[in-house]
């Protein structure tokens, strides 16, 4: 729809002006004729469209908004409220502009006769394939409210995990930023001032002072080259990591980094067991569940293992066997999967394993923060200590010479 400004006259010859949205100018004229008005002019509107500006959204839809949506939709649907009415309510109370627009599109799609799953599928920038397939399973089984509740729980778990990782990293990152700022200030302000003073000394400067002065001079003279090199290297690394080979190599290396690799592995194991348990308990086939679970994993090593398991099951094999062969999955996971396959309760077994790895990730992230904080403090202390030593050593030498 486009906005048009119009001018018309009523039956008494009075000029009537205004704006309206319509498909084209002819549609505007038809509407005005229906109102008993004589059209004088119709022009396309110009200027800022406030409604369009309100749709601009930076950062996408927050996870907490999706959690609230799923949880409240589950409550309304289970209470017998029609799906369209539930979506109308959620659209009206949505505060995120992008999410409000998406829900409006979903509502229109359902009113046109499409299912909720198909309507969500059209909004794939907000609703991933796992959500769509679970909704589809819920609609087919008549348990949509149950599925919506499970989705809300899954999103809450994901949101909680992300928040814990951010909380664990925020203080070490602040310390790192402080280190960088302090070093930059010293290199561009303190050391150059010190160098001007020491140039008048007719004495040999300590190696630490000479090294620091030379480094500062290089930073001051070639700061633009340093920024250029850092930018080029950063862009090159990002370009490489965006390639399939680069992503795969990075995922393989990150699992070998002490401390970090263990946390990444536990996060992938928690994700694998939690998502697979959710999909299987919702009625999806094991093959489809493994495909969707693989898509949800961020590390290529784990993703490849899950897809290998999917292919083996398609040939009639057992899930536990390819999982046991993988170097990235511990014996606990394959053993528990084997038990689940034998008892026919693989979804409940996986849910229990997921709880175990959830606690492992919580512990690991807490330990990571407690390890990184003192490490960065030590680095900052050493850097500042070295700079202080380089600055004051010549003064000590000078005072000693004067005293002698």
- pLDDT tens sequence across 13-50: 677 787 777 667 777 777 777 777 777 777 766 544 44
Give the pLDDT confidence of 318-337 residue by residue, as tens digits: 899 999 998 999 999 999 99
Please determine, looking at this structure, whether the domain spanning 161-404 carries the CATH number 3.40.50.300: no
Q: What does the block give as tokens for 151? A: 């989705």
Predicted confidence (pLDDT) at residue 58 exceeds the cutoff of 50: no
Please determine, looking at this structure, whether the domain spanning 55-157 carries the CATH number 1.20.81.30: yes
For residues 85 and 73, the answer to whether their CB atoms sit within 8 Å is no
CATH no. of 2-47: 3.10.20
Alpha helices in 222-259 (DSSP H): 223-241, 244-254
For residues 395 and 195, the answer to whether their CB atoms sit within 8 Å is no
| CA pair distance 315, 281, nearest whole angstrom | 23
Q: What does the block give as tokens for 103? A: 């829900």
Predicted confidence (pLDDT) at residue 384 exceeds the cutoff of 80: no
Q: What does the block give as tokens for 162? A: 């992300």
Angle between helices 144-185 and 63-78 (to 10 degrees): 170
Provide the whole-model pTM: 0.70
Ranges of CATH 3.10.20 domains, the chain:
2-47
Cα radius of gyration (the chain): 32
| CA pair distance 5, 149, nearest whole angstrom | 47
Q: Taking Cα atoms as reference points, which of 70, 61, 60, 63 lies closest to residue 116?
A: 70
Ranges of CATH 1.20.81.30 domains, the chain:
55-157, 161-404
């Amino acid at each position: 729809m486009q906005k048009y400004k119009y001018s018309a006259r009523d039956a008494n010859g009075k000029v009537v002006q205004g704006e309206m949205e319509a498909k084209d100018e002819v549609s505007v004229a038809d509407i005005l004729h229906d109102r008993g008005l004589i059209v004088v002019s119709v022009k396309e509107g110009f200027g800022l469209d406030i409604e369009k500006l309100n749709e601009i959204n930076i950062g996408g839809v927050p996870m907490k908004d999706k959690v609230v949506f799923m949880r409240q939709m589950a409550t309304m649907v289970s209470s017998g409220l029609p799906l369209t009415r539930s979506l109308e309510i959620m659209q009206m109370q949505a505060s995120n502009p992008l999410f409000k627009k998406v829900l409006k599109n979903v509502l229109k799609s359902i009113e046109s006769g499409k299912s909720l799953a198909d309507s969500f599928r059209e909004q794939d920038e907000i609703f991933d394939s796992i959500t769509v397939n679970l909704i589809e399973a819920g609609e087919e089984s008549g348990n949509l409210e149950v599925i919506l509740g499970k989705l809300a729980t899954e999103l809450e778990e994901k949101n909680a995990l992300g928040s814990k990782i951010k909380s664990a990293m925020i203080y070490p990152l602040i310390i790192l930023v402080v280190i960088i700022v302090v070093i930059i200030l010293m290199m561009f302000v303190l050391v150059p001032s010190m160098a001007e003073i020491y140039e008048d000394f007719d004495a040999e400067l300590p190696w630490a002072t000479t090294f620091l002065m030379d480094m500062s001079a290089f930073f001051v003279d070639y700061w633009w080259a340093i920024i250029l090199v850092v930018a080029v290297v950063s862009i090159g690394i990002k370009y490489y990591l965006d390639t399939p080979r680069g992503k795969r190599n990075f995922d393989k290396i990150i699992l070998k980094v002490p401390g970090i690799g263990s946390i990444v592995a536990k996060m992938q194991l928690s994700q694998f067991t939690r998502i697979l348990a959710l999909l299987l308990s919702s009625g999806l086939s094991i093959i489809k569940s493994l495909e969707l679970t693989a898509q949800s994993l961020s590390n290529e090593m784990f993703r490849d293992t899950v897809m290998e398991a999917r292919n083996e099951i398609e040939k009639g094999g057992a899930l536990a066997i390819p999982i046991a062969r993988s170097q990235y999955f511990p014996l606990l996971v394959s053993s528990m999967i084997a038990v689940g396959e034998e008892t026919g309760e693989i979804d409940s077994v996986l849910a229990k394993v997921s709880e175990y790895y959830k606690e492992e990730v919580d512990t690991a992230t807490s330990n990571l923060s407690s390890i990184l904080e003192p490490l960065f403090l030590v680095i900052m202390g050493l850097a500042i200590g070295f700079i202080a030593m380089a600055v004051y050593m010549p003064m000590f030498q000078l005072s000693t010479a004067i005293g002698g």
